Amino acid sequence: MMDHADLVEAGTEGSATVADGGLFGTPLFADPGTHDLSRVGVIDIGSNSVRMVVFDGAARSPAYFFNEKILCGLGAGLARTGRLSESGRVRALSALKRFAALAKGMGVTTLLAVATAAMREAEDGPAFRAEAERETGLTIHVVDGPEEARLSAQGVLLGWPGAEGMVCDIGGSSMELAELLGDGGVGRRATSDLGPLKLQGMTGGKKAIKAHIKTTIATLRDRFGDQSGRLFLVGGSWRAIARIDMERRGYPLKVLHEYRMTRSDIRATIAYIQKADLDALRGQTGTSADRMALVPLASLVLKELVRSFKPAEVAVSSYGIREGMLYEQMSDQQRQRDPLIEAAYQMELMSSRMPGFGRALYLFIEPLFGRVTPAKKRVMRAACLLHDVSWRAHPDYRAEVCFDNATRANLGGLKHSERVYLGLALLHRYKSSQKATGFDKLVSLLSEKDAKEAEILGRAMRFGAMLTLERPLDHGALKYYPKKQILELRLLSDTGRDLFGEVAESRFKALASALGANPVIKGVQTTRRAGQSG
């Protein structure tokens, strides 16, 4: 199973590879060949909601320029009547008119509209499609179930390049499954009628619904065979259940993308939902009333899904069909880029004082981390690219702003523990201690070893920023001898010696202290220990 560690190659820094997206080479959004992806709009006409997302910039990690959803309930009652909801049609058409006008005002040149289960199954679906196209000027693509599954799987690949496992996308009227093969490909796909809006319309009560869910998932299990790896959950109902799981567990980070659950977590949360007051739960989790009404039925589907397939791990994806359509516009070369590094590149370009210094900073401090895994190194690379993007914040709060930005930013390719690691490193870039920051619960997601390593990374960036030059390695070099407990700085030029003033020396000593090493400086008159005269 490929994970973030597999996005980068172990070995010497500085080589541009396909796996790491040409790290520190030309970022994707700077490539003239991606100009046509500068602003892409996607309208998703689902059974429960109609949403428009506008992606801004061609960065491999999507930037949401605009994101609006209206719960129209287009598929409400479809199982009973075979037709779209009358009120849903009115609300959906109004939403589509608004979105078409907004897209025009934003200068969106690529606007894609896709409709899923409700419109493809309803007998009046073709008529509503024709009406909507006539009233809005949109071209609406009605996709079948397997194609919907493929697009959702591609959305997951946007956030997890090379992911392997099974994607389960639940909508209002259907539920799709798709295999991720681990090489960027999508394998077997299937659709079912297990959307909660569709289940609401079934006769026979809860017993009949449970029996139908069990039979349908057994059929899917026979078709897909063993899928005991990672299960990726896509869709609003799954995200609502994940939010409830966070509430039940008292989980400190409220970012749904890449949130992980075990099968026992899911069983406990479903039992929690069955006993809970849904109105109270809705208030605690910020879930809309329309969405919460679907959660009990969706939880029955999820319970049977994990019981039957027995995934080793369950991960929530905020990326789905809309992101899959953006992914569809990308070349294979673009798809292979690392979403975290691409996002960090763009943030550095837009917000840092010296765009491009992040690469030089990483090369300067990299000798301190020779034993670090490739997965950690890519997060360290991102930290160096982001080390200065919050400089406009008030100095008294800059460290806290850095931590908040890293842990809550819309970043793909980043596990929750990696978010906190990144945030803590950036906090220590500006502040020597995390005390009185109020982040203790979030930091508890890290082991003591990782928290200490993040502190060392932050202190290294804090010292390295004192050599803010185009080529800092021409003026100074770090060497770390763990067994001898020595941190050595070699000053290689007059410029380097001039830059190494009192503040720089203090930060160098603080870095050595964090490493538990003795600081040694070479190149200032004679070899001396930091802080000694000579």
Report the CATH number that the domain containing residue 227 is assigned in CATH: 3.30.420.150
Is residue 504 pLDDT above 50, yes or no?
Answer: yes
Looking at the structure, tell me whether residues 131 and 32 fall in a common domain. yes
DSSP category for residue 229: S
Q: How is 129-190 classified by DSSP, letter by letter?
A: HHHHHHHH---EEE--HHHHHHHHHHHHHHHSTT-EEEEEEE-SS-EEEEEEESSS-EEEEE
Q: Flag whether 244 is in a domain.
A: yes
pLDDT reported for residue 32: 52
**Residue 364: inside a domain:** yes
The answer to whether 437 and 451 have CB atoms below 8 angstroms apart is no
User: Is a pLDDT exceeding 50 seen at residue 19?
Assistant: no
**pLDDT bracket for residue 33 (50, 70, 90):** low
Question: Which of 319, 327, 410 shows the shortest CA–CA distance to 60?
Answer: 327
Q: Look at residue 328 and tell me if it is in a domain.
A: no
Query: Are 168 and 302 part of one and the same domain?
Result: yes
Residue 158 in domain: yes
Tell me which of 12-16, 261-265, 354-358, 367-371 is least confident.
12-16
Structure tokens at 222: 């026979």
Q: What is the mean pLDDT of residues 308-333?
A: 92
What are the start-end ranges of the E strands in 269-333?
313-317
Domain membership of residue 164 (yes or no) is yes
Task: Please give the residue that has the higher pLDDT: either 310 or 411.
Answer: 310
Which of 22-36, 173-187, 242-256, 261-275 bottoms out in mean pLDDT, i.e. has the lowest? 22-36
Indicate if 312 and 184 belong to the same structural domain.
yes
Both 265 and 158 in one domain: the answer is: yes
Q: What is the mean pLDDT of residues 110-136?
A: 95
For residue 57, name the pLDDT band (cuts at 50, 70, 90). Answer: low
> Among 142, 170, 201, where does a domain finish?
142
Mean pLDDT of 469-476: 86
In whole angstroms, what is the distance from residue 467 CA to residue 495 CA? 9
Q: Please tell me which residue, 11 or 315, carries the higher pLDDT value.
A: 315
Question: Cα–Cα distances in Å, from 147 out to 116, 221, 324, 473?
Answer: 9, 20, 11, 51
Is 51's pLDDT higher than 60? yes
Domain shared by 254 and 315, yes or no:
yes
Mean pLDDT calculated for residue range 346-352: 90
Kindly indicate the confidence band of residue 201, based on its pLDDT and cuts at 50, 70 and 90.
Answer: confident
How confident is the model at residue 17, as a pLDDT?
36
Cα separation, 275 vs 116, in Å, equals 33
Q: Give the CA dihedral 383, 463, 473, 362, nearest 10 degrees.
A: -10
CA 28 to chain centre: 18
Q: Does residue 47 surpass a pLDDT of 60?
A: yes
The predicted model gives 23-38 an average pLDDT of 51
* Domain contains 329: no
In this structure, is residue 112 part of a structural domain?
A: yes
Average of per-residue pLDDT values in the chain: 89
Amino acid in the structure at residue 374: P
The pLDDT score that the predictor gives to residue 35 is 46
SS3 27: coil
Task: Dump pLDDT digits (tens) for 279-304.
Answer: 999 999 999 998 999 999 999 999 99
Of the candidates 269, 335, 314, which has an alpha carbon nearest to the alpha carbon of residue 168?
A: 314
| Claim to verify: residue 202 and residue 253 sit in the same structural domain | yes
CA distance 170 to 321: 11
Mean pLDDT for 22-43 is: 60
Please give the Cα distance from 428 to 426 (Å, whole number): 5
Q: What number is the average pLDDT over the span 330-349?
A: 87
DSSP-assigned beta bridge partners for residue 41: 54, 111
State the Cα–Cα distance between residues 35 and 27, nearest whole angstrom: 13
**Domain presence at residue 386:** yes
Distance separating alpha carbons of residues 231 and 310, to the nearest angstrom: 9
pLDDT at 14 over 60: no
pLDDT value for 532:
45
pLDDT level of residue 60 (50, 70, 90 thresholds) = confident
80 dihedral zone (left: phi>0; alpha: psi -120 to 50; beta):
alpha
Q: Which residue in 258, 400, 449, 398 sits closest to 340, CA to CA? A: 258
Number of separate domains in the chain: 4
pTM of the model: 0.87
**84, 116, 142 - which closes a domain:** 142
State in Å, rounded, how far the first CA of the chain is from the last one: 55
Instruction: Supply the range of the domain harboring residue 4.
Output: 1-20+338-468
Long-range contacts at 490-496 (CB < 8 A, ≥ 24 apart): 490/522, 490/523, 491/521, 491/522, 491/523, 491/524, 492/523, 495/469, 496/467, 496/523
Within this chain, do residues 121 and 210 fall inside the same structural domain, yes or no?
no
Going by pLDDT thresholds of 50, 70 and 90, the confidence category of residue 27 is low
| Digit-coded pLDDT (tens) for 446-467 | 999 999 999 999 999 999 999 8
pLDDT of residue 16: 35
pLDDT surpasses 90 at 2: no
- Residue 217 pLDDT > 50: yes
Is 423's pLDDT higher than 90?
A: yes
Pair 175, 276 in one domain:
yes
Q: Which of 424, 439, 468 is the last residue of a domain?
A: 468
d(CA 74, CA 121) in angstroms, rounded, equals 12
What pLDDT sits at residue 337? 86
Are residues 211 and 284 both part of a single domain? yes
Q: What is the band of 31 on the pLDDT scale with cuts at 50, 70, 90? A: low
Based on the domain organization, do 83 and 115 belong to the same domain?
yes
Same domain membership, residue 522 and residue 415:
no
